[in-house]
Chains A and B, each alone.
Chain A
Amino acid sequence: ETGVTQTPRHLVMGMTNKKSLKCEQHLGHNAMYWYKQSAKKPLELMFVYNFKEQTENNSVPSRFSPECPNSSHLFLHLHTLQPEDSALYLCASSQPLDRVETEAFFGQGTRLTVV
């Protein structure tokens, strides 16, 4: 256990559905991240939140909508996804961004399949 919990672990959704991924960390961190990992591709950073403020949106399509209500919780709201959005979505947390010598703690990921 890394102290970062993601739910659900697996999700199958149709292209017209709306669903949300949840991430919760119990490490007292103030930075949280969403990553996308597709087959045979490097890990892609999607969003970064530092002290609940979004600091990075890495050109992610608007069908992905993040929400960070507090430093312990991070959501990724999904709507009208495409089959190519099928991937492993990983949440991570770390110390605040100004601490460059820090490590990220990852959740186990949500395996998303869009049909």
Chain B
Amino acid sequence: SQQGEEDPQALSIQEGENATMNCSYKTSINNLQWYRQNSGRGLVHLILIRSNEREKHSGRLRVTLDTSKKSSSLLITASRAADTASYFCATPSSKTSYDKVIFGPGTSLSVIP
């Protein structure tokens, strides 16, 4: 079974709108990360949020973490066509070692110009 799972699987919005993606996970974690992947390319790290943080911002990105619900959300404000990509949450299955970070299946975001 997957540690992290994104929702929705696919999202299509108009340029300028906000995009919200959610991630649910199963076991307790000490941090959660979001990555982005342009089609057929490598993943790029976007943001890391620690378990003692509730919200974090980076430019047009806003990430929230609710450890009681074991969920996180990624909000992209004022979306641009260049934001079209797949977005993954990643959670370590171990609190002491990074080697078992598990990626969710991703949300495919399409931003229509």
Contacts and interface: CB of A to CB of B under 8 A. Distances in A.
B103 A101 contact: no
Given A106-B42, A111-B40, A41 B105 contact: yes
A35 to B, nearest CB: 8
Contacts, number: 69
A92 B98 CA distance: 12
A50 interface: yes
A101 B48 contact: yes
B41 interface: yes
Interface string B20-32: 0000000000110
Interface in B12-45: 30-31, 33, 35, 40-45
Interface size on A, as a range, is: 20 to 34
Interface size on B, as a range, is: 20 to 34
B68 interface: no
Given A42-B104, A106-B43, A108-B41, A101 B88 contact: no
A104 B31 CA distance: 13
Contacts of B100: 45, 56
User: Lowest 7 CB-CB distances: which A-B pairs, in order?
Assistant: A106-B42, A103-B45, A43-B103, A42-B105, A48-B99, A106-B43, A97-B99
Interface of B: 2, 30-31, 33, 35, 40-45, 48, 50, 88, 90, 92, 94-106
5 contacts: A41-B105, A50-B99, A95-B98, A100-B98, A108-B41
